[in-house]
Amino acid sequence: MSGLALVLHQFRYEQKVFWRSPATVFFTVMFPVIFLLIFSSLFGDERIDELGIETATYYVPGIITLAVVSATLVNVAMRMVEMRESGRLKRMRGTPLPTWAYVGGRVGNAFVVSLLMVVIVTALGNVLYGVPVPTATIPALLVTLVVGTFAFCSLGLALSIAIPSEDAAAPITNFTVLPLYFLSGVFVPETEIPDGVLTFASVFPIRPFFELLLTVYDPLAAGAGFDWGRLAFVAAWGMAGALITMRWFRWAPRHG
């Protein structure tokens, strides 16, 4: 079987596992949709004068940020810990499936789910709240999504190293990302957040990733929507996660 065929085989398996897990589907797909409906219904008619956009337009890229991080970093970290502690990860490594094909299948699954969430959130934002579809910046949106998927999947793999057990997976991943959502302006408009907090949040990848998406969805933004500096910054975080994973990732359970 060719390398591409192996990746596709693993991708199909990851898709089946994902859609057959009600809890995973709820928190990855339905949870962001619920947040979009709540925030946009409560504040969608308001306007953020400093940015020159409606609040609903602001929340569409914000909720997409939440959905992508959930589909990548959160899901990858939790599933890798579950696979490792159950012993399946160690047994899988003893099969002919190459490591890169396994990782490729997982990343491919995360990208497809992220792309699906972009379509769902964009469609809901347009139909329910009149948020413009960013047709002129679609190339920038796709590039941002590819870079973000790579970066946050890498960080999910790296984070799984620090999680000691399956029971600790959900608390640690949520403790890692939830504060950054608030500090990065995903839930609270950035105009309501002190500059010092935003500067601190910009050290981490969620804030610049959200800014990339906000530029793509901003109807007043000029150009094609590319911000190579922020894209490079998010990619650098991904490379750091990949290096940490290659150095310290373990396949055997920590307990038992």
Q: How far is CA 163 from CA 50, 67, 83, 136, 171, in A?
A: 41, 22, 12, 41, 10
Residue 227 confidence (pLDDT) above 90: yes
Q: Pick 26 or 205 by higher pLDDT.
A: 205
Q: Which range has highest mean pLDDT (131-135, 157-161, 224-228)? A: 157-161
Residue 50 confidence (pLDDT) above 80: yes
What average pLDDT does the segment 28-33 reach? 90
Q: What is the DSSP string of 93-111?
A: HTSSS-HHHHHHHHHHHHH
When pLDDT is cut at 50, 70 and 90, the band that residue 256 belongs to is low
Coil vs helix vs strand at 53: strand
Q: How far apart are CA 130 and CA 57, in angstroms?
A: 8
Reported as type and span, the H/E element at residue 114 is helix 99-129
Task: Give me the helix-helix angle, 31-43 and 55-69, nearest 10°.
Answer: 160
Q: How far apart are CA 190 and CA 210, in angstroms?
A: 11
What average pLDDT does the segment 81-106 reach? 87
Name the average pLDDT for the chain.
91
Q: Which residues contact 182 (CB under 8 A, 6 or more apart)?
A: 188
**Which of 46-55, 162-171, 185-194, 240-249 has the weakest average pLDDT?**
46-55
Residue 3 confidence (pLDDT) above 80: no
Residue-wise pLDDT for 195-222, tens only, equals: 999 999 999 999 999 999 999 999 888 7
Amino acid 183: pLDDT: 95
What average pLDDT does the segment 188-192 reach? 89
Residue 87 confidence (pLDDT) above 70: yes
Residue-wise pLDDT for 238-255, tens only, equals: 999 999 999 999 888 877
Looking at the DSSP bridge assignments, the partners of residue 47 are 54
Coil vs helix vs strand at 34: helix
Residue 114 confidence (pLDDT) above 90: yes
Check: CB of residue 165 under 8 Å from CB of residue 17.
Answer: no
